[in-house]
Amino acid sequence: MSWISFDGGSTLGHRGSEDGVILLDEEHTAGARVTLEKCDRVPFAITFGLYGNMVHTVFIGSEQESLDTFRAIKTNLEELIAIWPEKDAPADRVSRFYAAISDFAQRF
């Protein structure tokens, strides 16, 4: 499992979901994505998600903070992927997973 350029890097330089120019766009092979945009109305936006489970956007004021946050989000997404329950997982494991998603979204 690893991070790769989303769609072979074809999205870089194009408009993203927050109408900014995409600077970084990476996908985890296990089913996550994180996109960094330079925007007009806010300096930077980072949109990230776990396929089929959540999507969230944060707005950042500086380039360095956006790069640091981008890296931190990737690390945290990897932690969620590590506990992603299989389809028939027990209810308590599924509940812990969604609680971890909630905590993650609140941090960012």
Q: By three-state DSSP, how is residue 92 classified?
A: helix
DSSP code at position 51:
T
Band of pLDDT at residue 70, cut at 50, 70 and 90: very high
The amino acid at residue 55 is V
Is pLDDT above 70 for 1? no
Per-residue pLDDT of 45-58, as tens digits, reads 999 999 999 999 99
Q: Is the pLDDT of residue 26 over 70?
A: yes
Domain assignments of the chain as residue spans, ordered by start: 3-107
User: What residues are paired with 4 via a beta bridge?
Assistant: 27
Report residue 108's pLDDT band, with 50, 70 and 90 as the boundaries.
Answer: confident
Which residue, among 103, 43, 33, has the nearest Cα to 70 in the 3D structure?
Answer: 33
The percentage of residues in the chain with a pLDDT greater than 70, rounded to a whole number, is 99
Cα–Cα distances in angstroms (integers) from residue 40 to residues 21, 47, 56, 59, 87, in the given order:
9, 16, 19, 12, 41
